[in-house]
Copies of this chain bind each other. A is one copy, B any other.
């Protein structure tokens, strides 16, 4: 039975669900940083998913990526399945700008997380909702 890892529960805001994945927003205002988590029990690596789930994952990842790229007018996306610390398979989708505080390095380990102010978060969520709502069931 799938349950979200407690670290992901603590560090993110739930946006909604694709057919396969939870869509989460990392509570770190340094970067627009999203995470997809396949709702599958005890999976740590992408190759451990069934082939049909792997195909669905790339569809959901690419849909999210394209929406984020356009909505945020990104310079680059960084997409990564690392999981060295949190073992539950989760795929980072980070919007990068050449002006962001970690560029051109990867974001991990660079800056302490900067939690969103409540009004900024609500504003972001209200704006994101229409751009993602056609493919995900929205939680909030």
Binding site for B on A (CB under 8 A): 44-47, 51, 54-55, 57-59, 61-63, 65-66, 69, 76-85, 96, 103-106, 108-109
A82 in complex: contacting residue of B55, B65, B66, B78, CB < 8 Å = B78
A84 vs B57: C-alpha distance when bound (angstroms):
23
**Smallest CB–CB gap between A79 and chain B, Å?**
5
Find the B residue at minimum CB distance from A104: B84
Residue from A47, A59, A96, A104 with most neighbouring chain B CB atoms (10 Å) = A47
- B contact residues around A106 at 8 Å (CB): 80, 82, 84, 106, 108-109
Whether B76 and A47, one on each chain, are in contact in the complex, defined by CB atoms closer than 8 angstroms, is no
- B contact residues around A59 at 8 Å (CB): 51, 54
A/B interface sample: 28 pairs, CB < 8 A: A46-B58, A46-B61, A46-B65, A47-B62, A47-B66, A51-B59, A51-B62, A54-B58, A54-B59, A55-B55, A57-B58, A76-B83, A76-B84, A78-B80, A78-B81, A79-B81, A80-B82, A80-B106, A82-B106, A84-B96, A84-B103, A84-B104, A84-B105, A84-B106, A105-B108, A105-B109, A106-B108, A106-B109
